[in-house]
Chain A
Amino acid sequence: MKKWDDNKAWFMVIPVFLVVAVSAILPLMTVVNYSIQDIFGPDNRIFVGIEWYREVLTDSRLHDALNRQLLFSSLVLLIEIPLGILIALMMPKKGWGASLSLVLVALPLLIPWNVIGTIWIIFTRPDIGLFGAAINGLGIAFDHTGAPLDAWITVMLMEVWHWTPLVALLAYAGLQAIPEAYFQAARIDGASTWATFRYIQLPKMRGVLTIAVLLRFMDSFLIYAEPFVLTGGGPGNSTTFLSIYLVKLAVGQFDLGPAAAFSIIYFLIVLLFCWLFYQVLLKVGTGDKS
């Protein structure tokens, strides 16, 4: 059989390559550029090596922001994943109830981030907000602009209210994909509701839950709009998460070098955590003990 080279295949790959280059690789290279040089103008730059990285890594305010961020993301996962599963388990499996509950659950996902912020600020205001006034009416002082804990609770509420539906929808899709025969088999075996959840539903949802954990971790780790709209990172620095700090550094203080170095580190941290989650979740329940 005659063989020949057909270079036309390259034309199929080039568009994707261009899109990725322009949308991801070139901007990233700009950031890399800024992170290793001190740039004053187009023709005025000094190579500084890892100086910016050293500065950023020894910055105690950044350490605080990172710790705050880790605590926040852990809490988000601890609340949203079980809550999402619970909601998914309670949603009707078929009929008009299923469609209705899908629409209702999906509603918060349709609202833009900044609007979510505004809604909750008003909702939790002690003077005119329903939630804030009610809490204060019960005799509990609640003020998200003054008390750091209250600001945290408010950001958490926004985040949980906005994104638990995503976890619920993913979990619901996972549950719907389980063949009816599994539940019949469990009934015939005499398995309890808990055993059915523990040994059928949970293992069968592993794939979608892996995705939910990854998405929610990445997204909560990058949280910006909610604390920004609420207090701009305050009171004090209590809701200054990593991205708020990054923006303060880059836009507020115009320290582009450190901000660029920070971005690269930030990116690597997210990448590292996602890789870790992925590795761990892939092995859970597969009997792979390595």
Chain B
Amino acid sequence: MTSGRGYLWGVLLLLAVWQAGAWWAGGAVLAGPAEVAGKLASEARTERFWMHVGMSTLRVLAALAVSFAAAVPLGLLIGSSRRVDRLAGPLIYLTYPVPKIVLLPLVLLVFGLGEIGKIAMLAIILFFQLLITTRDAARGVSRSARYSLYSLGGTRWDLFVHVIWPSVLPGIFTALRIATGTVVAVLFFVESIGTRYGMGFYILDSWGRADIPQIYVGMVVLALLGAILYETFDIMERVFCRWSQL
């Protein structure tokens, strides 16, 4: 977890660079941080702004839940069984390198322009990162750990509960943290189509009205959403995987 002081310095440096850029470029292109903060304060008093924030957050959380529920058990299954891995491995190698964002038109065609289509797109992006990490971590469980567990009288279920699951958990949190940046970026894309709520729409709408400070408000909110998610996963890892922090 980034220390509070480290964060403070990072934010101060960012604000300084941002302000210097605003002075250099002129307010018509790059609104300064003070102006954006003022706009954010006024926007935060409107119900509509919070609807945008709420919808984006809900979409990301729903995608996280769906992808976690699908990818983690599947990754555990593939990683724990050589036979399943032999069958599923080639499919993963073929599909993983495909940039998932190019599937956006297809996903929206299949799942529709509504919420399901948007959440499905985000979930697909997260799915592969979680699947690969979980599978690799499950495959990495040593023979010695298996022997130890079985020699204590453990069953396959005990192996899963006491060995595989705790050993893959840090990898899952790492995958979630890495995926956070990607999922927020893709959120902007999916919210630019077929919706009037969400930070993606908010930014594009501001752009259309040439409301420069509001564009930056949208960008700041998306950055904050990513940072909050990142730190949440970091804290969860510290709580659930104390042993991996030693």
Please determine whether chains A and B interact with each other in the same assembly.
no
